[in-house]
């Protein structure tokens, strides 16, 4: 390393990671530090506001957007272990606050430095994990917001290719929605169930031991369905494997 | 009676129909593969798409100019141009023409606009026999149904079901159930009608402003047989179908066909410019063009303007995870799938259709394939915003989001709530999973929920930071 100052990163943990699977937050933190960043976790963060935004409740969504911007605008970068929350900040915030003279420029500035974790590591930091090994077969689901709104497809795969022993298998329909859709899966649970059932079948057919994805919402949906079907597939967020934490409990496995 | 709103009822019925699922998968799956191949073999696709979008936006911005130009040129060619502000007016104009001509039998070439304005019912009410000439439309006419897809109206029916319909509806019934024999049978039945119809009614894919011609594409040639032998030809078309010139029509046609069927061109592409002129060997004696607004000029001025670019290719529904599970009839409007979820609230009102813009995962695949770059998820979100503002969203959702937002707006309180809430939630679980959780029935009815962490990330992180210091 040269003497350049390390970039500061504000880590947004996402409400689901905070409550359901903190390991993802710690894996993200570890990777960012390995990549040479100074990481802080601002305490004023809660939720990015996506549930309100997607329900049409723009007022609450805008409030949460302003709160989040205020908490994070002091860092060089804002990084999230979620493509869909990152997309909310990158595209949603500037739209929401476009008509607000005090906040429009701040929202755009925040959007410009906000990144999903795998694209941040690969594209911005040029980081590649070293010395990781996992003897397993895995398949990867491309979550929709990350894929279509942020163009995340090559980065997680490139990073995963550095994990020795990991055999990646193609997933037919890898870019087809798993049926999560935030509140969709609860509001239209029958339709969501039909969609995730097809997804689970496709995952099971790959015979892969592990399912990976970059969004906990989608992972919970697929993991929950796979478990209900009695499948043995273990589900992890991509960063958990990249950080060498896949020897711990998978989603839905209790720590001993 | 179920307490579910109509959409949910229809969706549930569709999900319970295994034959429907097979039929949808077959057709949309094929369409998806063929489109992908066609786009891959068309290196200028992105450029063509940008051009298509630009053409449609140009027309939208200058619609008055092109409408006037079209009317002038169509009239000069001998066609009679009528204006309909809404569906009722459009129906009235068409029936008036039919009654004035004392028409007994009308043939109709597939047209979604005809469905939109309720033409089949209007003709029936006026005592006029209507014969659908598109093979798929013929099938659903025999079944007494509405189209379930804008390109393949009968895609929800399997070949076996069609054979049953033909057996009951054709005189004499087809001799065998192979596709060739069944098509022959439909031909025989339809040809008699083609030649004895008084009036042929078609839609139009494009209205060409500088020639005054209407353009209709089919793969069966039925539009030609509908519009040429009868005495009178009536075209019904939405005003957004205008294009400046024939070259523009072809530019859009390349996008339309590749996106719809994966083909390069339709089998039949016909331009109709006025009725038969003195000395012409054939063609109708009268040609009427009914230009229908029906909410379109309202869209010019509001946030749904981009929807006016739609060229009705159906790619968005073929690639929609929701459409592919529930099919077209569940949507309950003329237009299904993502484009229907944007258009139906325009046509039927948001109060009657608020489920449609909500029943979407926002995965964005529809916008990815739309040949004219319509940002369908953004438009669906615009409906959700209106629905929220107008108080149409259910009270339970408003309350849920409201409480959530109040908490999320107070980080300290939020932390406290997670500290209390997570251990409580964990009580419902066993091992790593929760199989049933009150208030989360929509989730746990179909899947298990990972048991939340005993301590949130934030709590663990703060403890760690303290330890470090
Ligand atoms: S919205 Fe786009 S993809 Fe859907 S029918 Fe219209 S043009 Fe085709």
> What is the reported pLDDT for B4?
60
CA distance A158 to chain B (A): 23
Nearest protein CA to atom 3 of ligand 1, as residue:
B370
The complex's ipTM?
0.96
Q: What is the 3-state secondary structure (H, E, C) of B423-457?
A: HHHHCCCECCEECCCCCCHHHHCCCCEECCCCCCH
Q: Which two tokens stand for residue B140?
A: 């659903």
Rounded Cα distance, A105 and A109, in Å: 6
Q: What is the mean pLDDT of chain A?
A: 96
What are the beta bridge partners of residue B200?
B107, B233
B416 inside 8 A of chain A by CB? no
Partner-chain residue, chosen from B15, B368, B447, that has the shortest CB–CB distance to A194: B15
Residue B344 pairs in a beta bridge with none
CA distance B266 to chain A (A): 29
Q: Spell out which residues of chain A touch residue B414, defining contact as CB-CB under 8 Å.
A: 46
Torsion angle defined by CA atoms of residues A200, A250, A142 and A22, in that order, rounded to the nearest 10 degrees: 130
Q: Which residues pair with A169 in a beta bridge?
A: A139
Dihedrals phi, psi of B16, to nearest 5 degrees: -85, 0
Distance B431 CA to ligand 1 centre (A): 47
pLDDT score, position A86: 98
Extract the tokens encoding B208: 């060409």
The per-residue pLDDT for range A164-208, each reduced to its tens digit, is 999 999 999 999 999 999 999 999 999 999 999 999 999 999 999
| pLDDT in the model for residue B290 | 98
Identify the pLDDT of residue A254. 82
Question: What is the pairing mode between strands B213-218 and B268-272?
Answer: antiparallel
CA angle centred on B163, ends B158 and B168, rounded to 5°: 130
Residue nearest to atom 4 of ligand 1 (CA): B316
Spacing, Cα B163 to ligand 1 middle (Å): 31
pLDDT at B102: 95
* A133 burial type by CB count under 10 A (0-12 exposed, 13-18 middle, 19+ buried): exposed
**Cis, bond preceding B190 (omega within 30 deg of 0):** no
Name which of A51, A177, A182 is nearest B365 (Cβ-Cβ): A177
Give chain B's residues under pLDDT 70: 1-4, 469
Per the prediction, chain B carries an average pLDDT of 94
Residue B320 C-alpha to ligand 1 middle, in angstroms?
Answer: 11
For the residues of B256-309, what is the DSSP string, one character each? HHHHHTS-SS-SEEEEE-SSPPTT-SSS-SEEEEEEE-TTHHHHHTSTTGGGGG
- Check A144 against B362: CB less than 8 A apart: yes
How close is the nearest chain A Cα to the Cα of B417, in Å? 11
State residue B240's pLDDT score.
97
pLDDT at residue B100 in the model: 96
Nearest 10 degrees: Cα torsion A17, A20, A25, A26: 180
- Phi-psi region for residue B76, left (φ > 0), alpha (ψ -120 to 50) or beta? alpha
pLDDT digits (tens, 9 = 90+) for A99-131: 999 999 999 999 999 999 999 999 999 999 999
- Are B329 and B157 in contact by the 8 Å Cβ rule? The answer is no
Structure confidence by residue, pLDDT tens digits, B40-66: 999 899 999 999 999 999 999 999 999
Cβ < 6 A, ligand 1 pocket: B 259, 310-316, 339, 370-372, 374
Q: Fill in the DSSP letter of residue B216.
A: E
Q: Mean pLDDT over residues A32-56, rounded?
A: 96
pLDDT, mean of residues A217-226: 98
């Amino acid at each position: 390393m040269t003497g350049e100052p390390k970039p500061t990163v504000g880590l947004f943990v996402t409400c689901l990671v905070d409550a359901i699977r903190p390991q993802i937050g710690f894996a993200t933190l570890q990777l960012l530090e390995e990549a040479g960043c100074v990481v802080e976790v601002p305490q004023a963060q809660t939720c990015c506001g996506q549930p309100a935004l997607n329900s049409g409740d723009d007022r609450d969504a805008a409030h949460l957007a302003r709160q989040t911007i205020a908490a994070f605008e002091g860092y060089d970068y804002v990084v999230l272990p979620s493509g869909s929350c990152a997309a909310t900040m990158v595209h949603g915030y500037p739209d929401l606050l476009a008509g607000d003279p005090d906040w429009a420029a701040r929202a755009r500035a925040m959007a410009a430095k906000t990144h999903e974790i795998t694209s941040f590591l690969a594209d911005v930091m040029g980081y590649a994990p070293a010395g990781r090994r996992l003897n397993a077969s895995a398949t990867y689901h491309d979550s929709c917001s990350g894929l279509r709104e942020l163009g995340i497809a090559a980065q997680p795969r490139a990073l995963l290719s550095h994990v020795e022993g990991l055999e990646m298998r193609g997933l037919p329909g890898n870019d087809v929605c798993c049926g999560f859709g935030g509140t969709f899966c609860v509001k239209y649970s029958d339709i969501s169930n039909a969609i995730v059932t097809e997804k689970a079948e496709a995952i099971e057919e790959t015979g892969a031991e592990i399912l990976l994805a970059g969004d906990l919402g989608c992972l919970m949906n697929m993991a929950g369905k796979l478990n209900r079907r009695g499948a043995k597939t273990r589900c992890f967020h991509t960063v958990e494997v990249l950080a060498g934490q896949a020897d711990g409990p998978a989603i839905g496995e209790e720590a001993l | 009676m179920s307490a579910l709103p109509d959409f949910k009822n229809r969706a549930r019925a569709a999900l319970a129909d295994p034959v429907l699922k097979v039929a949808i998968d077959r057709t949309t799956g094929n369409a998806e593969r063929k489109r992908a191949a066609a786009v891959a073999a068309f290196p200028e696709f992105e450029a063509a798409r940008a051009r298509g979008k630009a053409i449609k936006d140009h027309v939208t911005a200058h619609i008055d100019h092109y409408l006037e130009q079209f009317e002038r040129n169509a009239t000069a060619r001998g066609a009679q141009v009528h204006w309909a502000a809404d569906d009722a007016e459009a129906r009235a104009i068409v029936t008036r023409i039919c009654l004035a001509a004392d028409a007994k039998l009308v043939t109709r070439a597939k047209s979604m606009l005809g469905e939109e304005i309720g033409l089949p019912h209007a003709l029936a009410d006026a005592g006029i026999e209507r014969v659908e000439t598109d093979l798929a439309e013929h099938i659903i006419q025999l079944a007494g149904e509405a189209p379930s897809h804008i390109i393949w109206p009968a895609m929800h029916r399997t070949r076996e079901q069609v054979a049953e319909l033909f057996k009951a509806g054709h005189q004499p019934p087809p001799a065998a159930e192979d596709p060739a024999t069944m098509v022959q049978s439909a031909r025989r039945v339809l040809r008699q009608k083609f030649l004895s119809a008084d009036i042929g009614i078609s839609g139009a894919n494009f209205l060409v402003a500088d020639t005054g011609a209407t353009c209709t594409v089919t793969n069966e040639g039925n539009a030609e047989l509908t519009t040429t032998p009868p005495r009178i030809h009536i075209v019904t078309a939405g005003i957004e179908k205008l294009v400046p010139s024939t070259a523009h029509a072809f530019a859009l046609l390349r996008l339309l066909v590749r996106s719809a069927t994966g083909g390069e061109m339709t089998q039949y592409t016909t331009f109709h410019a006025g009725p038969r002129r003195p000395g012409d060997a054939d063609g109708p004696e009268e040609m009427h063009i009914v230009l229908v607004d029906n909410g379109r000029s309202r869209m010019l001025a509001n946030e749904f303007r981009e929807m006016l670019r739609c060229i009705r290719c159906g790619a968005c529904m073929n690639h929609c995870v929701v459409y592919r599970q529930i099919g077209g009839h569940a949507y309950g409007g003329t237009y299904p799938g993502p484009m229907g979820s944007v258009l139906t609230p325009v046509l039927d009102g948001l109060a009657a259709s608020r489920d449609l813009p909500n029943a979407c995962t926002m995965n964005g695949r529809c916008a990815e394939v739309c040949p004219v770059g319509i940002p369908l998820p953004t438009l669906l979100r615009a409906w959700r915003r209106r629905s929220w503002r107008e108080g149409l969203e259910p009270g339970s959702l408003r309350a849920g989001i409201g409480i959530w937002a109040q908490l999320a707006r107070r980080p300290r309180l939020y932390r406290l709530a997670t500290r209390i809430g997570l251990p409580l939630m964990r009580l419902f679980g066993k091992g790593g999973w929760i199989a049933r959780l009150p208030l989360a029935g929509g989730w746990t009815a179909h899947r298990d929920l990972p048991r939340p962490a005993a301590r949130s990330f934030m709590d663990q992180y703060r403890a760690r930071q303290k330890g470090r210091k």
